Amino acid sequence: MPVVKADLQACQGYANCVVGATDYFDLDDDGIVVVLRTEVPETDRLRVTEAARSCPVTALVVEDA
């Protein structure tokens, strides 16, 4: 199953991912991404990949595990 990988050093807290897939991503108090679910079923792949690609600093990828 595809998985979400987050680069916490790169994250700048823009929150595009939260808007794109609010059930997968949140921000903590410092504005760093929190991945709520790492495993992505095929039915969510397009939506979560688009959310990851909406990150302005490429801090998120969806990869085949």
Partner 1 sequence: MSDATVIVGSSIGGVRTAQSLRLEGYTGDIVLVGEETELPYDKPPLSKAVLAGTAEESSIRLLTGGDADAARIRLLLGHRAIGVDIAGRTLELEGHEPVGFDNLVIATGASARPSPWGQRPGIHVLRTLEDARRLRADLLSGGHLAVIGAGFIGAEAAATARSLGLDVTVIDPLPVPMSRIFNPEIGQWFGDLHRSNGVRTIFGTGVESLEGEQGSFVLRLTNGERLNASVVLVGIGAVPNDAWLASSGLLVDNGVVLDEFCRAVDAPAVYAVGDVARWRHLTHGEDTRIEHWTNAVEQASCVAHNITHPGAPRAYTPTEYVWSDQHDWKIQVVGRVGGGASHTVIGHPEAHGRFAALYTADGTSLRGAAIVNWPKALVACRRGMATGITVQELRDKLESQLDPQPVVAS
Owner of token pair 């991404």: 33
Smallest separation (angstroms) from partner 1 to the CB of 28: 8
C-beta of 8: minimal distance to partner 1 in Å? 14
Contact 16, 25 (CB under 8 A): no
Minimum distance, C-beta of residue 31 to partner 1, in the bound complex (Å): 3
Nearer to partner 1, 37 or 53 (CB): 53
Closest CA to 42 of 60, 18, 65: 65
64 binds partner 1 (CB under 8 A): no
